[in-house]
Structure 1
């Protein structure tokens, strides 16, 4: 079966700094993948390229069964193609209820006419309740989003992305700032989401990555240094040297 996302020989530099260097990786249609690596490894730039925020100097990014080239497409078009991205800091509408946040995120036409005339259908209501249950916010549906804990806001934003039915979900450091219990619940949300779509998690918390129990890609200096199970990559001498042995390793 062909991959959902193919990144082939991608390179990009900024003012002489080689941020991504001949990067190639492949993501399957229903796959959970963790991406780790030291500061400056190219993790954020990789996501910027996939989502259209940054255009590479060379290489190709191919998407879906049509092998659609994402190079040159803007961020909005790529999002419409089915790629959703969650940044590290949660971005929700804090003055609105959790239910209203989910409603705003539903995959609907975004032109002004449809927005003005929008009324939630029974199917929309059912979808919102399904999303709330999936991320563990059923009891918070009528609560203002601004009153949620940090972890709950992260779950809400993940749920808002899932409301748009993406085929690929990019998640940046979801465990940052969470309690142990919140990290465990976040793990379950992401693992469950990967049953029906691809999920790429950029993370540096090794305990969290181990809980994900998935294939791991290690980036270093903009290239893939190692790939495989967490045990495999953490026993790789090169990974130990450039990442695990560094006290300043982070995102």
Structure 2
């Protein structure tokens, strides 16, 4: 499997605290990966580095398998390259309908004139209908997003990211606050998304991770502690000591 993202020897220090310590990580073009670890392990900082929000002190981040460095790119450029990020708290336009949220997120020319004179075409509306079907909101297209349940807002935000056609999707704790049935649907949604792009899920819910049935990377003190199947890493004595034993 060819590599989409490769992080090599990356470190970053905040006020003397090493948040990321010689971290190396790679993921393929169509792969689902879960990242786990105790609070302070570096999970959020890792995502900040990949999206350009935080610049590392040292190391390399190669993108697209073509020796292109993300370190020379702005946050906006990295987003245009196809790296999308979903934060834990859903951020949707609550006064707009599900359809309007998805239309705004479609991958389009975003110049000032293009935005000012934009009118959705038939192909845009069809794409939005397909996205709504994919995320399980086909029957909620004309509903105000603020009226959706917490889980439905999470799905809408994932749909908005998918509308941008990302090659890598970073998802932070998608199962938090969801009902059991919502977690099941979210699992299916992420597994389906990973068939055509790389998806990295940061999560604490071990049962949710087990449902994802994917490779797991365990972070501790800013470095990779263990990697493999969930059964493999949860049998690792170091992982038990620093994470599961708490």
Query: TM-score normalised to the size of structure 1?
Result: 0.97
1:106 aligned residue: 106
Given that 1:52 and 1:72 are in contact with CA atoms closer than 8 Å, whether structure 2 keeps it comes out as no
What is the 5 A alignment of 1:91-130? 91-130=91-130
The aligned residue for residue 6 of structure 2 is 6
CA contact (8 A) 1:29 1:198 kept: yes
Structure 1 CA distance, aligned partners of 2:123 and 2:167? Answer: 21
Distance 2:62 2:218 in 1: 21
Corresponding position of 1:207: 207
Counterpart Cα distance in 2 of 1:68 and 1:87: 26
Partners of 2:5 and 2:65 within 8 A in 1? no
Checking the alignment, whether the CA contact within 8 Å between 2:70 and 2:78 is kept in structure 1 is yes
CA contact (8 A) 1:32 1:200 kept: yes
Can you give the 5+ residue segments of structure 1 that lack an aligned partner in the other structure?
247-251
Structure 1 residue 72 displacement after superposition:
3.2
- List alignment gaps of at least 5 residues for structure 2: none
Q: Distance in 2 between matches of 1:229 and 1:39?
A: 21
**SS of the residue 1:91 aligns to:** coil
> How far apart, CA to CA, are the structure 1 residues paired with 2:68 and 2:203?
28
Question: Mapping of 1:1-251 within 5 angstroms?
Answer: 1-246=1-246
Cα distance in 1 between the residues matched to 2:178 and 2:129: 24
When the two structures are superposed, what TM-score results if normalisation uses the length of structure 2? 0.99
How far apart, CA to CA, are the structure 2 residues paired with 1:73 and 1:5? 14
**Native 8 Å contact 1:193 1:199 kept in 2:** yes
How far residue 111 of structure 1 moved from its aligned partner, in angstroms, is 1.3
Compute the RMSD of aligned alpha carbons. Answer: 0.6
Aligned length: 246
Question: 1:75 and 1:182 mapped to 2: Cα distance?
Answer: 31
What secondary structure, in the 3-state scheme, does the structure 1 residue paired with 2:3 have?
Answer: coil
